[in-house]
Chain A
């Protein structure tokens, strides 16, 4: 009998729970933002900072400015566990919520692929800042996809330029051996073609080492790199728990950490602290600055944390992932501000944000006005170029903190753009799409 009661209770909960989520809801006068992130699972270190940071920024806007042009922001959280089917579920659950999504952050490369076609159909721009489907930078084929700032291929060109600079000139790369250690996933594999192309151009050799997810077992890979291949440089394309594991293995086999260059998903405190001393000297790329000294983060502390409304422990506020969440939230909010300027000061919808994004410009003055100088690099988008191609900066882990090395490194647009166009054209052909002309 107790069991039957339980079953009834569960059914009742189901009946109550469902309609609340599924109704296409009317807008309540606020701009709805979906914060889907991963507070659990192997990648929670990143996910919790992304989700929490974005909410902190939106809350700060509401407190400091009363929203965007008087339109308050509202948000919902959605747990994805960094799994594609859960990301799709979140997208489907909230796409019509409270007037509809104005933009969508999948927060996972695989998730970006999974929602690409759905979002195209639903006219919701998919924003992937610093990750996600590289060839979508061609806005003619992918009108609703915005892989902003710097895509993986562009980042990779900056990385090779950085190595060249360290060796004393690009011609010195000739004959060098580079190992590409990547997480076996959509994210990990994306740079293989561009590396092969660069190897041909600069005369170095590249060998790819796949690490099965989640990447805790890398013994064989590092032995091979250090003893057999004797690589000159290693590119670490890891994510989450794979990164500290890689650094520890590198220490074990005695591979110099100063010769390992991580992508920006391998360059946060969460990636190096668990590795302890093994991380000392490790280098990684970054598309954003970090620290709490930026006026915008000071505003968040003043308006959100000092009132006890913060989403995260205070000590995480200066970290790389938090700063990245700020970048994402700032760009999202500014895109909505631009859309309001074009269509009126009210909650905007996906179609309007898409048009605003195609004219989006983050000028140095605007960055300064936002109090994010050094946090967000200046860039601009167009109908053709959904990337922006912002410069990349490198940082080294020294004595318990990230120290920037050198200046921002420009990306090699001339090399990447034709590859993007070729790849996008192949996609258009496979899907029999006609690219827009612009």
Chain B
């Protein structure tokens, strides 16, 4: 009844190409943005921002990056954590090597470095497909981890291999408090998400999808396979690199290469699968699911702390988390984004389902 698009006419090309064609969606997104920018820092506690929202936002960027590669271009990668590490350590080296470099430029450069690395490891994708490609990107993971721990140059010869991020400032304004860091991360998320959304609607995104659905057919209709696949790797790695840099600079503050271990790569992969392959919105859903669910389970289990032995409780949390993942995948194998879509379609018909 409320969510109905009757009476909304598209009278120009611009209106036809709008990112959110339905007015109610636009209003909803606008309200969400206002809430995220203005309401959240006031209402939500510092703990929730620092420990839940920040990792959620940062890992959303990584999930979008992987989704572009896996969901849109059909190239499976386990190198996400490695690319995050490349981004993190490049940003660190740039920040300590050229202290005067503006941080935004620094992050973009770090993203570009990651893009180059990603392209190099994307080359085998021209010949290798499916699970075999996953194995070659696994090689990228171990290579990057080994390189960073082996050569002290990457950590400025820190004896323990831990880097600690220099203070953040954007055009002379120190990004110090939790709220400022939150805004900084949010700004990156917004820009990158809008960019990704438009990228997949453009000719580039269509070429990716063509390659994903059938690369021989795509080649026949004139999509340059080499360029398309490498571009997908480059853009995906760029996103992961930025996520890695933000992880160090805005979230944890100090990081060792082990923060980007294989578990991280799987974590992001699960976000994409649970959120929905080939959906930018799904990346956010997936990130929210994976980041916040364990914390909620822990908090929900807290009242039982006295009765159940600690090790049972901790393992139970993992079990519940696993069961929920399986449950959601059985109920909706196409991910949370598909659930959202179904919900929207139902809402359009409501309250007359037939």
Contacts and interface: CB of A to CB of B under 8 A. Distances in A.
Interface string B232-271: 0000000000000000000111111011010000000000
Nearest to B298: A79
Size bracket, chain B contacts = 35 or more
A434 B222 CA distance: 63
Interface stretch (B22-30, B45-53, B182-190): B45-53
Interface stretch (B82-90, B155-163, B196-204, B207-215): B155-163
A92 to B, nearest CB: 4
Nearest to A4: B343
A374 to B, nearest CB: 29
Contact of A186 (B256, B261, B311): B256
B228 interface: no
A85 interface: yes
B313 interface: yes
A18 interface: yes
Interface stretch (A106-114, A297-305, A321-329, A341-349): A106-114
A167 to B, nearest CB: 27
B304 to A, nearest CB: 11
Given A79-B317, A85-B252, A186 B162 contact: yes
A308 interface: no
Contacts of A20: 299, 302
Interface in B145-163: 145-146, 149-150, 159-162
A431 B160 CA distance: 17
A311 B11 CA distance: 70
Contacts of B311: 39-40, 44, 48
A270 interface: no
A77 B301 CA distance: 11
Interface string B271-288: 000000000000000000
B149 A192 contact: no
B312 to A, nearest CB: 8
Contacts of B252: 84-85, 88, 114
A275 B299 CA distance: 37
Nearest to B312: A39
Given A17-B299, A84-B252, A186-B256, A51 B164 contact: no
Given A40-B318, A116-B254, A52 B159 contact: no
Contact of A18 (B48, B150, B259): B48
Contacts of A220: none
B101 interface: no
Interface in B128-146: 142, 145-146
A117 interface: yes
Most buried by A among B253, B302, B314, B317: B314
Contacts of A212: 142, 145-146
A317 B298 CA distance: 28
A89 to B, nearest CB: 4
A423 interface: yes
B55 interface: yes
A221 interface: no
Contact of B164 (A113, A187, A210, A423): A113
Given A21-B299, A79-B317, A93-B47, A185 B258 contact: yes
B295 interface: yes
Interface string A69-94: 00000001101010011001100110
Contact of A48 (B48, B255, B256, B310): B310
A118 to B, nearest CB: 7
A3 B338 CA distance: 13
Given A22-B48, A84-B259, A311-B309, A118 B160 contact: no
Contacts of A187: 160
A184 B151 CA distance: 13
Given A22-B45, A92-B47, A114 B296 contact: no
B137 to A, nearest CB: 17
Contacts of A118: 253
A438 interface: no
A118 B254 CA distance: 11
Contacts of A109: 160
Contact of B51 (A17, A40, A89, A193): A89
A265 to B, nearest CB: 14
Nearest to A37: B310
A200 B253 CA distance: 35
A133 interface: yes
A350 B290 CA distance: 33
B295 A113 contact: no
B341 interface: no
Contacts of B315: 39-40
Contacts of A39: 310-311, 313-315
A104 to B, nearest CB: 15
B259 A213 contact: no
Interface in A1-52: 3-4, 10, 13-14, 17-18, 20-23, 37-40, 44, 48, 51-52
Contacts of A193: 159
A184 B331 CA distance: 41
A190 interface: yes
B298 A23 contact: no
Nearest to A55: B310
B305 interface: yes
Contacts of A430: 96, 164, 166
B258 A213 contact: yes
B61 to A, nearest CB: 16
Contact of A23 (B45, B146, B259, B331): B45
6 contacts: A14-B292, A40-B314, A76-B302, A79-B313, A113-B254, A430-B164
Given A117-B254, A210-B150, 10 more contacts: A21-B302, A48-B311, A88-B252, A116-B164, A116-B254, A133-B160, A186-B256, A189-B159, A189-B161, A311-B310
